[in-house]
A = this chain, B = another copy of it.
Amino acid sequence: MNFKAIEPVGNKLKILDQRRLPREVRYNEYDDYRDIIESIKTLEVRGAPAIGIAGAFALAIAAQAEVKTDLERLKKILVDIAREIRSARPTAVNLAWAVDRTLDKANHYAGDRIDEYRRILWNEASLILAEDEAMCHAIGAHGQALLKDGDTVLTHCNAGALATGGSGTALAVIYAARDSGKKVKVFADETRPLLQGARLTCWELMQEGIDVTLICDNMAGFLMQQGKIESVILGADRIAANGDFANKIGTYSVAILAKEHGVPFYVAAPTSTFDPGINSGEDIPVEERSPDELTNWGGVPIAPPGVKTYSPAFDITPAELVTAYITDKGITWGKRKGD
């Protein structure tokens, strides 16, 4: 890839500031876990896999910063910090998963050397990043087999390299198809309210030389009606045991439209996105975001002052609407396979 969304540099974490894309390509380096929490909350870094990686490094960085302490006290402090990091965003399972995994790994250390404990945290965060890169690669390799030369794919939000430590989830499939010699075009939903499709997906696909066309979210149905879309590929923030999944608001509408038009609907996600502790979509918490995201753009009001808003960040798509899940372990066919 021609860029990295998230990368450890020395003992800091370097993050591409996605709030500023596409106007400005700026990287920030953090050595305070509270700044990384803020970075996650304000969507400087976003995408379920990427915020998992950021959360794991935030924990490792917090352990480094606590210098005036002994190992037992550090362990106690980190339990609270881990909770704080996990709660930065509630919907994506990867954040909690990565933070817990990193802390568990370190807490299995039976020795008494605090430096070693810190090193284990940092190594585990690095391992999560490396595994994520490998997972992206595997998702791409498995998923590209579903695309034919000349296909046009619709995607929603950004499930790309900007959302992961590697080449992405949904967009990894596009890159892998390209690398295997297939010409694939993409239509990108702009993805209101935060325009991740317009700002991020278009930016990264253009960086990588992929033929991308921007549309408004409400144009997807008309495109499908005209037979211009061969498949939908998008990401997931959390997948329940029954196959229901949470993803960026608007995903459910795209899934209904895809079913109506007989367009295959693929969900690309690493296995860490599957949450066996959640039975169905009804149990996935959906974060509601600030009215400002609907009523203002760049400080300019686009709605009357004081208007009521409803702004769920995610929606829940039932398993019945999924043709297949593209994971790092291979293709898992969904309930719409037979369509």
When distances are taken between beta carbons in the complex, the residues of chain B under 8 Å from A305 are: 22
When distances are taken between beta carbons in the complex, the residues of chain B under 8 Å from A192 are: 190, 192, 216-218
Partner of A294, one of B193, B214, B300, B307: B214
When distances are taken between beta carbons in the complex, the residues of chain B under 8 Å from A213 are: 307-310
Q: In the complex, which residue of chain B has the Cβ closest to the Cβ of A192?
A: B216
Q: How many copies does the complex hold?
A: 2
Query: Does A241 reach chain B (CB closer than 8 Å)?
Result: no
| Alpha-carbon separation in the docked complex, A319 to B16 (Å) | 48
User: B203, A222: Cβ atoms under 8 Å?
Assistant: no
Considering only residues 240-259 of chain A, those with a C-beta below 8 Å from chain B are 249-250, 252-253, 256-257
Segment at the interface with B among A110-118, A170-178, A194-202: A194-202
When distances are taken between beta carbons in the complex, the residues of chain B under 8 Å from A252 are: 221-222, 225
| Alpha-carbon separation in the docked complex, A219 to B312 (Å) | 8
User: A304, B206: Cβ atoms under 8 Å?
Assistant: yes
Residue ranges of A at the interface with B (Cβ–Cβ < 8 Å)? 22-23, 187, 189-193, 195, 198-199, 202-203, 206, 211-223, 225, 249-250, 252-253, 256-257, 260, 294-295, 297-298, 300-312, 315-316
Q: Enumerate the 6 nearest inter-chain pairs by beta-carbon distance, A residue then B residue, closest first.
A: A218-B250, A221-B253, A222-B315, A192-B216, A22-B304, A217-B218
